[in-house]
Amino acid sequence: MKHQLSYQQRLLQKMALTPQMRQSLQLLAMPAQELNEYIEAILEKNPFLKKEFERLHTSDYTGSPLRSSLEEHITNSITGDEDPRPLLLSQLRMRDLRGKDIEVAEYLVYEIDENGYLRSDIVAETARDLGVDDEAVEDVLEILQKLDPPGVGARDVRECLQLQLERAGKKASLEYRIITDCMDELAVIDTAKMAHALKAEEKDVSEAVKNIKKLNPRPASTLLGKKEAAVIPDLIAYIKSGKIRLELNRECVPLLKLYNPYKKNADFVKDPEVKEFLKTNLKAAKQLIDNLSRREETVCRVTDFILTYQKEAVTSNSPRLKILTVNDVAKATGFHPSTISRTVARKYVQVNGRAVALKSFLSHGIKSPGGGLHSKAHIKHVIRELVEREDRTRPLSDGQITAALAKEGIAIKRRTTAKYRENLRISPSYLRRKKN
């Protein structure tokens, strides 16, 4: 049986996506606002579609279990302006990736944030969720980092700027050396200290710093961020007496139904071109309705599981999340991890009156030397709170934060604290210090 499934999957990966599969994958990846714009554009062109104003509650959903479909085993090959991530995927496709590398590439693309960055621990996370080794992920990440715009796929500012200089053929330049060895000094523009450390002339260092300022520390801000301004939830979570009820946000994403004024008078139209136009649009309308239904079922199924699993955090508005990964959700819902990645990417759910990123309810765990297991989301929350409460005239060092975490029962190493602080985009202590 395993051999048969493996053989079938290899065949599916070689198959070309049908237009219906392409649209299904495209719709699943869209956030609510973008989906609404897409639907409105189609309604203007297709005479067989009309809005139906009603709401669907997950508590009312009693349909059969959601089916796994071909798109769960193969990669997305959509192109278009609505979702910029497929533009990155289309570039990856030019690299002729094979087998598991396709899944890894897609996973990484959907993990890229609005500025073009990946988290520092993305390699280990991807390897764990997709069942591959770290080296395989590193190989695909190296390919991703060669895409446009230069710097995309970096895990921190240093790597982002290095990638841009490498693309420009300046890996041996003074600029590259500054970024590699003197980021702390660069942050405060201490040219004298940089010149001393690199054994270079200060005037050359000053010129190099000017060139570094021309680089883009947010390489995908215009590409991935252009549609992010409006945060509109796909679903609304109602909490009453400790119970969660989900409702689709129909105010933004309308329910469509088929409208065929020509059904009883099919012979009325004689012109072959008109007949073909009507036939094509009727088929497209049915396809869109089916794909939207599939998208809604998938989003509801995944969101319902995530919020139910994190019920304690959701109902109490607590940051203490249980450990829950993309792979955990995939196993529980029967979907492929790449489908889960699409589903949670750029989707929001309204909880207690505010829109919360669905992805924020996922969290990997870390085992401390003392044997405790804590979610990374919780550890980062504690770090952020410690920094927010600190005395800015004497800001906490990474060592002091690590000691404070230990008092909370979170025993992690100082370098891990520094990594999480960087993930939170919190500057080091000497840059947070304020004079009296």
pLDDT score recorded for residue 269: 62
Question: Which of the four pLDDT bands, split at 50, 70 and 90, describes residue 264?
Answer: low
Please tell me the distance from the alpha carbon of residue 329 to that of residue 337, in angstroms, as a whole number: 8
DSSP annotation of 16 reads P
Average pLDDT over residues 231-237: 87
More confident residue, 14 or 72: 14
| Interval 364-402: pLDDT, tens | 766 655 555 677 777 888 898 899 999 888 889 988 999
Instruction: Kindly report whether the global pTM for this prediction surpasses the value 0.75.
Output: no
| Interval 350-365: pLDDT, tens | 987 788 889 888 877 6
Question: What percent of the chain shows pLDDT beyond 90?
Answer: 24
3 state DSSP class of 250: coil
Indicate if the pLDDT at residue 144 is higher than 60.
yes
Peptide bond between residue 149 and the one before it cis (omega within 30 degrees of 0) = yes
Average pLDDT over residues 175-203: 90
H or E element at residue 373: strand 373-375
Q: Could you tell me whether strands 243-248 and 365-367 are parallel, antiparallel, or unpaired per DSSP bridges?
A: unpaired
Average pLDDT over residues 214-221: 84
Residue 319 contacts by C-beta under 8 Å, 6 or more apart in sequence?
313, 377, 378, 381
Indicate if the pLDDT at residue 16 is higher than 70.
no
| Interval 93-123: pLDDT, tens | 778 777 788 888 888 888 887 778 888 788 8
Q: What is the mean pLDDT of the chain?
A: 79
pLDDT score recorded for residue 420: 83
| Interval 46-103: pLDDT, tens | 888 888 754 444 433 333 232 222 222 222 222 233 344 667 877 887 787 777 888 8
Per mean pLDDT, which range of 55-64, 122-131, 245-254, 415-424 is the poorest? Answer: 55-64
Please tell me the distance from the alpha carbon of residue 16 to that of residue 5, in angstroms, as a whole number: 19
Question: Which of the four pLDDT bands, split at 50, 70 and 90, describes residue 299?
Answer: very high
DSSP for 50-117? EEE----BGGG---PPPPP-GGGTS------SS-SHHHHHHHHHTT---THHHHHHHHHHHH--TTSB
404 is written with which tokens? 């404070």
DSSP annotation of 118 reads -
pLDDT score recorded for residue 240: 83
Per mean pLDDT, which range of 25-34, 262-271, 273-282 is the poorest? Answer: 262-271
Per mean pLDDT, which range of 38-52, 166-180, 277-291, 360-374 is the poorest? Answer: 360-374
| Residues 185 and 193 sit within 8 Å (Cβ to Cβ) | yes
Per mean pLDDT, which range of 76-80, 210-214, 271-275, 276-280 is the poorest? Answer: 76-80
Average pLDDT over residues 193-203: 93
Q: Which residues of 216-250 are buried (b: 16+ CB within 10 A; e: fewer)?
A: bbbbbbebbeebeeeebbbbbbebeeeebebbbbe
